[in-house]
A and B are shown apart, each in its own frame.
Chain A
Amino acid sequence: MIHSLFAIFIFPGFLFLCVISLAAEFIDRKVYARLQNRVGPPWFQPLADMIKLFGKEDIMPEEANPLMFKGLPIFALAAVATAFLYIPLWSPESLFSFDCDIIVVLYLLTLPTIAFFLAGWYSTSLYAMIGAIRSLTQLFAYEVPLFLGVLAPAIIANTWSLSGLIAFYRIHPVLAACNMLGFFVSIIALQGKLEKVPFDIPEAETEIVAGSFTEYSGRLLAMFRMAIAMELVVGASLFSAVFLPFGFGLPLAGAIAAYIVKIVFIILLSCLIRTLFARMRIDQMVEFCWKYLAPIALTQILINLLIKGMVL
């Protein structure tokens, strides 16, 4: 009991996730800045931002529903933190692994987006409402390619559990290379989930101020910011387990190092995408996802089915 609670809240659960999320946010911001020829923030900046926001007053619009307005940030944070518990980080087994946990992780990762939508909707502000609608529109566009991309490796492995997946690719490491199309699709779809350039349409500051979060301030905003920072790490961890299933067999120190290298690599890729592109328009984004991402993801599924039929 105590052991489980420690695992959930301290290590490798919530507190640990907070620490690596802040570190990931720092890497993301620093590399983004260096790519743009800027100096970038010092290492403690994400933590300082959080402390500052937590120290600020919460202001709530008079017409907003207090329960929803205050509950949604916690909801988003809890959903992301829960998803983290089911992902194998450096040991081949996750903390609470069970059959079909990959589906649960994907759905838990959808919850924050729903929370962003509801938060915008219940803020009763015009900017927030437009941002909320954009969040949801975007969700329908990137979610299917993301699911197809992440589930494709599971098709070869013939299992819906992350630990089963890792066990399979430990035996057939070459087959992991076949999933690169899915990896590509998922990395791009992750930008939509994290609401970052080129898919930062729901919080396009030059159009709708801060989108769903326009009315949020203080602790509640800090929780949303934390949820997004955690989403990056959780997404990167999920991809590292699914698409880069290496290093799980190493001794503990080596496995942890492999995990860090993998998630930093994925964060750097996400950062590079953020640097290279301009923000798309919502109609262009939906078109791009359905015209290009979804067919590429389907191709990946087709490839994997063929491999499964012919090679295995």
Chain B
Amino acid sequence: MAKVTIPIGPQHPSLKEPESFSVTIDGEKIISMTMKLGYNHRGIEKACEERTYLQDMYLIERICGICSHTHSTCFIQAVEEIAGLEIPRRAAYIRSLVGELERIHSHLLWLGVAGHEIGFDTLLMYSWRDREIVMDLLAMLTGNRVNYAINTIGGIRRDINADNIRDILKAVDTLEERTKYYIQIATQEVTLIQRLSGVGTLSFEDAKRLGAVGPTARASNLPRDTRKDDPYAAYGELNFKVVTDTHNDVYGRTLVRVGELMESYAIIRQILTNLPDGPIAVKAPRKIAPGEATSRYEAPRGEDLHYVKSNGSDKPERVKVRAPTLANLQSVSKMLENGYLADFPIVIAAIDPCFSCTDRMIVGVHHPDGELAGAMDWKALRTYSIDWYKKNRGVNFKIKA
């Protein structure tokens, strides 16, 4: 069979969100891959400029359906930094608690997705069943399974009580037991190991050069973890280790994620035993003083970065979000080099992509001949759209001078 280019996406069963990959294959081997982002652009950053800080927090939370607490905390941290607010210790601990519960649900979800991508649906059903335990915990603590809305500027909205603590500890024990079983599967199940090891290799140097973040970087033995590097919330006071692995492949990424699950359980126990007393929020001003801040947060997928600029009103002047998937996408084409078509879905899934979270920027698009296309300004874009409609739809919009 000659070389063929097959389209994977924008609509394809292996993709949970629309994204377009063109894979050129020779038989079963991948020769090259190009990707096209931007099917899910929702204009959230622009929308943030039209709303107050508090409204923005709820909007930002909806960037991602899985790491919603990540984005809301990351944004709030930047706002609090500009406003010079010091949140109470109890609030910081509870933010970390919800953050870790979110990490657990995200990693269990990933485990299931990875299982499905390699045709191991039993793993999907088991891990998603166990994920329900942590989803129920989150619903109990915050009132919602996703988009928890527990943050507020200056602290958190809901306190937790002794009953909650008892329930969480009980659930964490169950989850820990199940996770041990998954670790056993991951280290012993032959077909699983065969499908994952040696697939999508990313060396330590490449991970560093391409700026990989999160479990993708840590599986290449790059100990990059914002919780340690730049502690936020309560992480500075907690004792945990950064899980790394030297496999450099999808198998390593799996081991890092299950290892992080175990770390998260330990962190949650520490948080609950050391939970300080006191208020859960400080009063925040409606208008934020002029200034700018950048905030980092270790999402389940890697480092999340928010930039907020304020102009002294109750609305931000600029909000910029860099989701972890964007940092990891660069390394995907490296991972796919000399790979098999069959490994394509799992390699993509192994960075735990969240395409709709990533789609909020314009990237310079390379022409096929290698030239960088110039970005269009507003006027040129308008002229182009009017011409396009005239040519393709027969609609003639008049251009006003």
- A: residues with CB less than 8 A from B are 35-38, 126-127, 129-130, 133, 197-198, 200-201, 204-209, 275-284
Is B194 an interface position by the 8 A CB rule? yes
Q: 7 smallest A-B Cβ distances: which pairs?
A: A279-B119, A278-B120, A206-B14, A36-B125, A206-B345, A278-B191, A277-B191
Tell me whether B28 and A198 are in contact (CB under 8 A).
no
- Write out the residue numbers on chain B whose beta carbons fall within 8 Å of the beta carbon of A281: 28, 194-195, 340, 342-343
Tell me whether A207 and B14 are in contact (CB under 8 A).
yes
Tell me whether A280 and B126 are in contact (CB under 8 A).
no
- Write out the residue numbers on chain A whose beta carbons fall within 8 Å of the beta carbon of B192: 278
Chain A minimum-CB-distance residue to B345: A206
Interface-lining segment among B110-118, B217-225, B234-242, B371-379: B110-118
- B: residues with CB less than 8 A from A are 1, 4, 6-7, 12-14, 25, 28, 115-123, 125-126, 129, 189, 191-192, 194-195, 340-345
Interface core residue of B25, B119, B129 (most chain A CB under 10 Å): B119
Enumerate 10 A-B pairs (CB-CB under 8 Å) in ascending A order: A36-B121, A127-B6, A205-B13, A206-B13, A206-B14, A208-B341, A278-B189, A279-B191, A282-B340, A282-B342
- Write out the residue numbers on chain B whose beta carbons fall within 8 Å of the beta carbon of A279: 118-120, 191, 195, 342
Tell me whether B121 and A207 are in contact (CB under 8 A).
no
**A227 smallest CB distance to B (angstroms):** 22
Chain A, interface SS category: helix
Q: How far is the CA of A279 from the CA of B195 in the complex (A)?
A: 8
Tell me whether B125 and A38 are in contact (CB under 8 A).
yes
- Write out the residue numbers on chain A whose beta carbons fall within 8 Å of the beta carbon of B115: 278
A209-B341 in contact given A35-B122, A200-B119, A280-B191 (Cβ < 8 Å): no
A206-B119 in contact given A198-B191, A279-B195 (Cβ < 8 Å): yes
- Write out the residue numbers on chain B whose beta carbons fall within 8 Å of the beta carbon of A209: 12-13
Q: How far is the CA of A207 from the CA of B125 in the complex (A)?
A: 20
Tell me whether A133 and B194 are in contact (CB under 8 A).
no
**A109 smallest CB distance to B (angstroms):** 24
- Write out the residue numbers on chain A whose beta carbons fall within 8 Å of the beta carbon of B194: 278, 280-281, 284
A275-B122 in contact given A126-B4, A127-B6, A206-B117 (Cβ < 8 Å): yes
**B108 smallest CB distance to A (angstroms):** 14
A130-B119 in contact given A36-B126, A282-B342 (Cβ < 8 Å): no
Tell me whether A278 and B195 are in contact (CB under 8 A).
yes
Of A126, A205, A276, the contact of B122 (CB 8 Å cutoff): A276
